[in-house]
Structure 1
Amino acid sequence: MNRTTDLNQLLIFVRVIQAGSLSEAARRLNLPKSTVSRKISDLEERVGERLIQRTTRKLGLTEAGRLLFERVSPAMSDIEEAESAVAGMRGAPRGVLRVAAPMSSSTLGPIVAEYLIRHPDVAVEMVCSDRRVDLVEERFDVAIRAGELVDSTLVARNLGKAKFMLVAAPEYCKRHGVPKTPAELTSHACVAFGGGVAPHVWPLESGGKRVEVRITPRLTVNDMEIVREAALAGVGIAWLPQLFCADDLRHKRLLPLLVDWCSAEIPVHALYPTRRHLSPKVVSFVDLLSERIQLHDH
């Protein structure tokens, strides 16, 4: 195999797969179809493998072709992004933005929708997981994380501080009353976020005092949206992030309880790899996050 890399061959190969045909790729690249076909043949000869199965109707990737496309396509996007930056075209976000976010990130939905409407040349791939992803290894552009930072190799943008608070539906409060002290939570129906058999403890703080209340939940679930829905339905008292239930509180669908008691404040950051922090799609997305999340006391 000839180890000399020909970027033109690789670019044409990627464009052919993206276009779905040699003729469409030739049209997009403004090249003769014969040139495109020859470049693909030269590439196959150079790597010593057939990459594309040609039929009269469509193109299909061989196993080797799929492997090459998956490796080369992101690199070509990076090259194009770098060229755009050098050419002073960074003002227009474009390309695919990969975002890692925590589970139960429904509050980000309207922000992502607004971002996509603002920037029609960007597509967003958002993965919600409580696993701590490796941004560089897994090719994420941005990660949104709550808690103290542990990876000093990443660039961090502080989005503010979040906290948990006690809430319940008006119907629940009418039927069961409201707790006057943290200790009274033990005699109330509660809805808890979590899983497994570990005891449920809600850590409450007020004016420098901290108490840990051990509750016996009526519902335990590892999806914050289901916790919220159960609270809205009047199942019991829930311990929810302030941002997550802010709209419900504004419209009095949920009522705040024991308002002097809440969780310790949890820092929230947008993180992105240092080597890509100047990408316009990243900067514009993080700017919008910072604008819209507004983590502060209500």
Structure 2
Amino acid sequence: MDLNSAALFVKVVQYGSFSETARQTNTPVATISRRIADLEKELGVRLLERSTRHLRMTQAGAAFYEDAARGLEAFEMGLSTLENQQQELTGTLRLSLPPAFLPWQQLLQDFQVRYHQVKFDIFITERRVNLIEDGIDVALRIGDRKDNQAIVKKLGEYRHQLVASPDFLEQYGTPSQREQLLTMPCASWHAQTTWLLGNESIQISPIFQVNDYLHLLKLALAGSCVTELPPFLIQEHLMNGRLKTLLKDYPLPAQQLNLLYPSRKQLSRLVRTYIDFCAEWVDGLFQ
């Protein structure tokens, strides 16, 4: 049986005439008439009694209409549900983030406010990940990236800053030249013994190295050392005077903020939306 013809029959009964059905469905009257006739022929019964002014169902037509109308209503509800699901972003995003990257906590909260049906499965690590083998949709990474296994999208740049507490500076003095750092206790990121300040490098002998910027922040706040930290970790402490920036005329290198993800051809609507959201959210954040 032609389901489109059955749906037209239901509409004809509901609208009360062929002409009104034609207007409501944008279907020619002749097409509607032909399809109803074909349906009657296929079923072997007359469904409608037609006259110049009146249109009424036969007994067989009334019985058929009751079942067909329920089926059409269920079908339309199913289509509506499917359309809503397609419009409403759902699913789970599997992300990899570096440790202590605090701005992303707010970004993810903002994303879920806009797309409240989305869930996150997050893997925190600084190491390189295999997106496919590790099941990662998108990885956030810092620094210049060249990865043949992934697409790299640069979101922006920011610079770390050298900082120390007022108590520390009272004890050791405020440096005005890079070389003065050599006489001060320094703490650095794990395995880092060189700071590029301006256009020159300085070799430091850190008293503490750790791959955790929150730990470095605690050391600086405690007055134990000079260290470099990302701007989003120190902004509040600079404003309340618990930390001071050093050697502003000798800036540290710009840090690239990148998203890594598999081939564009394989991206789901959810992943594409997340990538676009990140680009919009980060725009100008570290400028």
Per the normalisation by structure 2, the TM-score is 0.63
Equivalent residue for 2:286?
296
Give 1:140 shift: 0.9
Distance change >3 Å, CA 148–CA 229, structure 1 → 2: same
Equivalent residue for 2:253?
264
Would you say 1:147 and 2:137 are equivalent positions? no
More deviation in 259-268 or 104-113? 104-113
Equivalent residue for 1:214?
203
Contact kept? 1:91, 1:280, Cα under 8 Å: no
How far apart, in 2, do the equivalents of 1:286 and 1:161 lie? 17
- The Cα offsets for residues 214-242 of structure 1, whole Å up to 9 and x where unpaired, read as 22323222211100111122211111223
Query: Given the alignment, which residue of 163, 168, 180 partners 1:184?
Result: 180
Distance change >3 Å, CA 254–CA 279, structure 1 → 2: farther
Structure 1's consecutive aligned runs of 4 or more residues displaced over 6 angstroms after TM superposition are none
How far apart, in 2, do the equivalents of 1:123 and 1:171 lie? 44
Equivalent residue for 2:224?
235
Give 1:275 shift: 4.7
Contact kept? 1:93, 1:121, Cα under 8 Å: yes
Query: Between Structure 1 and Structure 2, which shows a larger proportion of helix residues?
Result: 2
Q: What CA RMSD, in Å, does the superposition of the two structures yield over aligned residues?
A: 2.6
Give 1:90 shift: 4.7
Equivalent residue for 2:237?
248
Query: Given the alignment, which residue of 197, 204, 207 partners 1:204?
Result: 197
Alignment of 1:1-298 (within 5 A): 90-152=86-148, 154-195=150-191, 200-205=193-198, 209-210=199-200, 212-275=201-264, 278-293=267-282, 294-297=284-287
Contact kept? 2:146, 2:152, Cα under 8 Å: no
Per the normalisation by structure 1, the TM-score is 0.61
Partner AA of 2:101 in structure 1: S
Identical positions, percent: 27
| Secondary structure at the counterpart of residue 158 of structure 1 | strand
How far apart, in 2, do the equivalents of 1:276 and 1:245 lie? 39
More deviation in 158-167 or 286-295? 286-295
Partner AA of 2:186 in structure 1: C
Aligned residues: 205
Distance change >3 Å, CA 178–CA 91, structure 1 → 2: farther
Partner AA of 1:184 in structure 2: Q
How far apart, in 2, do the equivalents of 1:125 and 1:214 lie? 40
Distance change >3 Å, CA 291–CA 251, structure 1 → 2: farther
**Structure index of larger Rg:** 2
Distance change >3 Å, CA 186–CA 285, structure 1 → 2: same
Contact kept? 2:187, 2:225, Cα under 8 Å: yes
Contact kept? 1:166, 1:240, Cα under 8 Å: yes
How far apart, in 2, do the equivalents of 1:156 and 1:101 lie? 15
| Secondary structure at the counterpart of residue 196 of structure 2 | strand
How far apart, in 2, do the equivalents of 1:185 and 1:273 lie? 43
In structure 2, the gaps of 5 or more residues are 1-81
In structure 1, the gaps of 5 or more residues are 1-85
- The Cα offsets for residues 72-110 of structure 1, whole Å up to 9 and x where unpaired, read as xxxxxxxxxxxxxx9695542211101112233233222
Distance change >3 Å, CA 213–CA 90, structure 1 → 2: farther
